[in-house]
Amino acid sequence: MRLEDLNDSQKRAVKYTDGALLIIAGAGSGKTRVLTNRIAYLIEECGVDPYNIMAITFTNKAAREMKERVETTVAQGAGAVWVSTFHSTCVRILRRYIDRIGYDNNFTIYDTDDQKSVIKDICKKMNIDTKMLKERAIMSKISSAKDELKTPDEFELEAGNDYNLRRIAGVYREYQKTLKLNNALDFDDLIFKTVELFQSDAEVLEHYQDRFRYIMVDEYQDTNTSQFKLVAMLAAKYGNICVVGDDDQSIYKFRGANIYNILNFENVFTGAKVIKLEQNYRSTQTILNAANAVISNNIGRKSKSLWTDNGEGEKVNYTLYENGYDEAEGVASGIAEYVRDGWNYNDVAILYRTNAQSRALEEKLMIHNIPYKIYGGQNFYQRKEIKDILAYLKTIDNGLDGQAVKRIINVPKRGIGNTTIDRLQEYADFNDITFWEALVNAKDIDTIKNAALSKLEPFVDLIGRLRAKEEFMSLKELAEAVIEDTGYIESLSQNETVEEVEARRENLDEFINKVVSYEEGCKEAGEEPTLSGLLEEVALIADIDNLDESEPHVMLMTLHSAKGLEFPIVYMTGMEDGLFPSYMTIVSDDSTEIEEERRLCYVGITRAEKILNLTSAKSRMVRGETQMNAVSRFVKEIPPELMDNKPPAPRYQPVVADKSSRTISAPKKPYLASAGTGSFGALGISKGSEAVKGGKPDYDIGDRVRHVKYGEGFVTDLEPGPRDYKVTVDFDDAGQKIMYAAFAKLEKI
C-alpha cells in the first residue's frame, strides 16, 4: 500500500473508515485504486480482520480484477476478503440458509429458457393467448417486479383495473408456486429471496451483519431497489458502508437501475460523509471541459467538475457532413490519416447510439482496408434478421442456394419440422436436383404427408408472389414487401422483448438504406440495378476474414457498451436530434428521459483520452427516405471555444411534437409498424413526408370504436409513434388493450 501515490481526495476516501461514506468518483478518477487501497488500509492500518470485509461488484470480471489488485496491494490475508458480485454473494448465503424459508439447500437456478418454458405452460393452463400477451413481456414484468421487491399480491394490487397487468399478476403467482414446487429460483430470486430470508430470520441477518462489518459497493449508481435493500440491511448494525459511483454515469435505467439510490444516499444513511473524486487521470482538460459543460444541463445530479493535470490538449473536432454516407467516409478517412501519422488502429473507437448505425461505418472501413471489431455485438451482415432477409432475397433471385431456402423455410415459424426438411433433401439428393426443386415438387414425394404439404405449399406460393413482384417493383419496394408479406416483425415480437424487436427493426431499416444506396449507385453509373447485383455487392462486403484478435483493430460499439472503457481517439457519430438524443426521449413528457440520454453522452465524451471527434449529418437515410436532421442539442451544449468547428444554426425548423393535439409528421411507408418504440432516425423533416399510415386515425380520445376480435370499447388514449399511432382502448368485455392503429383496424362507431 502506497498512500503517497494517491491525491488528497483519494487519501481522505481511503482513511475514512467508520460510518457511511459516499465516494462520488468521476470518470477516470481512479476509483478502483481507492477501493483496493481502502481494503488494504482497513487490514494493515486499522487492524480489521479480512474476514469482516466485503466488496461487491456487478460483474465477475470486475470481481476478479479487484481480488487480484487487493492481493497485490495487501501483504497477507487478502484471500479472506469477500469480493463477489451481488448474485454470487446471494447464492452463497442461500445455499446455507434457504431452508429457513421453505426451500431445500440444493435448489436449482433456472436460466432464461427454463423460465420461458414454465411461463409458457402457465399461460396455456390459464388460457392466455401468448400472441397477444407475449411470454417475454410477462417475464420482463415479473423480473421488474422482483427487482422492486414486489410480491405477486403487491403486483396485483398495483395493477388496479389494468386487465393485462392483472393477468400477469396471476401468471406471476403461478410462476412462483411452480418454482417453489420444483425447488428452483430464477436469477432475480437470488437477491429477492436473500432479502426475504433476512427479513424473516433475524438470526441469519445478524450473522452476516457481524460477518460483514465493513461493506463496499462498486458502481453504486447502477443498483436497483432489491440490491439497495440488501446492502442496507447488511450495513444496518455497524453502519460501515462505503459506496462508490458516479451519478453522471447512470445509464441503465432500462435495466432497472435506480439513480436515486446514489442521489439520496445521505438521506438514507444519516450522517454519511461525501467525498468527491474530481481529478481525472484519463483525458485532456478540453475534453473534460466539454463533458462538464454537457452534463451541467442535468438537474438530477450531484454537482462536480472534473479536472486534470494532463494539459489542455486538442480542441474537440466537430464535423458536419452532407449525409450519413459522407459521415462514414469521413470517419474512415480520418482513421486512415491518424494511422499514417503514427497512431495505431487499437487507439481508435467509434461510438454510436444504436447498433444499426454500424452498417455504413463497417462498409467504409472495409473499403479503406481498416480492420475493425464490433465490441459486444455482431458485424452488421452477421445479424440474424439481416441474414434472414438476405436468404429470402437469394431464394427469390434463383432458389439454387439450398442453404438460403432451408434458413427461411420456417422463418417465421410455419410448423415445418426438421423431418420434412430432411425428406426434401433426401429426395433432392436422390434425383440430383436442388432443394428448391424438391420443395416445388413436394406433392410427388411419398414420404411427405398431406399435413406437411399443407404447410409447404403456402411457403412456395409466398416465394412465387414475391418473384412476381420483383418484375415491377424497385429493389427497395421488394425488400419492404419481403418484410411485410412474411410478417417477419410480428413474428419476432412473439418471442422477444420490445427492446430486442426494436433493435432488429432498426437493423432492417438500415438494410433498406443499403438497398437504396445500391440503386442510387447503379443509376449514377448508368447501370440497371438488379437483385443479383445487390446480392453480389453485399456478399463481397460481408465476406471478410475472421479478425485475428492479436492484430490491431478499430473498435466499434454502442455508447452503452463503451462504459468503463477508454481510448486515445474517440469518434462519436450520429450526433443529431432524433438519433442522439433519441426522438422518443425528445417528445417524452418525462424530463428524466432526456437526462439519461445526456448522461450517456457524458459517458461517451469521457471515453476519450487525447482526441474527441464529434460528427453529424445534415441528412440521413431512414428506411430509404432522406430525412433532414438538426444538430444534436448535446453538441450545442459544448462551448464554441472548445471546438474546432462551431455547429451551424439550423437552416430549417425541425418538426416538433404538438402534445396538445397529439399529431406529428412522420416518414411515409411505415412498413414496420408494430409494437414497441421506434427508430425514427432523427427529429426532422422527411422529403415527401406524410402522416403515419396516411394520417391520424379517424377516431380520437373519447370515441367509441369496434375491433374485429375484442368487440366495442372507448378510446382512452391516442399517441403518435415513429411509425404508427398507439391506441389504448377500454373494451367492454376484453378490458384495456394497447394496440397500433395499422394493425388494430379499429372502426369508429
**Beta pairing partners, 55:** 83, 216
Active-site option among 31, 69, 146, 723: 31
Per residue, the 3-state secondary structure of 125-151, as one string, reads HCCCCCCCCCHHHHHHHHHHHHHCCCC
Sole residue written with cell 446480392: 535
Asked about 209 being catalytic, the answer comes back as no
Asked about 607 being catalytic, the answer comes back as yes
Active-site option among 135, 186, 218, 577: 218
Angle at 141 (CA atoms; ends 501, 502), nearest 5 degrees? 10
Buried b (16+ CB within 10 A) or exposed e, 375-414: eebebbbebebbbbbbbbbbbbbebebbebbbbbbbbeeb
The answer to whether the CB of 407 falls within 8 A of the CB of 391 is yes
Q: What is the C-alpha to C-alpha distance for residues 582 and 57, in angstroms, rounded to an integer? A: 30
Angle at 625 (CA atoms; ends 589, 372), nearest 5 degrees? 90
**What element of type H or E holds 568?**
strand 567-572
What cell does 49 get?
Answer: 480482520
Residue 305 vs residues 138, 180, 280, 639: alpha-carbon distances, Å: 42, 50, 10, 15
Q: What is the C-alpha to C-alpha distance for residues 388 and 606, in angstroms, rounded to an integer? A: 37
Q: What is the C-alpha to C-alpha distance for residues 387 and 410, in angstroms, rounded to an integer? A: 14
Parallel, antiparallel or unpaired: strands 82-85 and 108-110: unpaired
Asked about 219 being catalytic, the answer comes back as yes
Active-site option among 219, 326, 347, 385: 219
Asked about 218 being catalytic, the answer comes back as yes
Q: What is the C-alpha to C-alpha distance for residues 190 and 91, in angstroms, rounded to an integer? A: 6
The DSSP-derived string for 362-387 is HHHHHHTT--EEETTS--GGGSHHHH
Range list of H helices, 74-186 = 86-97, 112-125, 135-147, 152-159, 163-181
DSSP state of 551: S
Asked about 32 being catalytic, the answer comes back as yes
Active-site option among 209, 249, 573, 626: 249
Q: What is the C-alpha to C-alpha distance for residues 139 and 145, in angstroms, rounded to an integer? A: 10
Spatial CB neighbours of 174, under 8 Å, sequence gap ≥ 6:
122, 125, 126
Spatial CB neighbours of 2, under 8 Å, sequence gap ≥ 6:
none
Q: What is the C-alpha to C-alpha distance for residues 37 and 671, in angstroms, rounded to an integer? A: 57
Helix, strand, or coil (residue 492): helix
**Beta pairing partners, 116:** none
Query: What's the farthest any 2 CA atoms get from each other in the chain?
Result: 85
Closest to 716 measured CA to CA, from 707, 708, 724, 726: 726
Closest to 177 measured CA to CA, from 122, 254, 221: 122
Active-site option among 17, 32, 178, 425: 32
Q: What is the C-alpha to C-alpha distance for residues 466 and 393, in angstroms, rounded to an integer? A: 9
Residue 560 vs residues 255, 352, 606, 612: alpha-carbon distances, Å: 12, 9, 13, 17
Active-site option among 406, 504, 607, 693: 607
Asked about 31 being catalytic, the answer comes back as yes
Q: Which residues are catalytic?
A: 31-32, 218-219, 249, 607
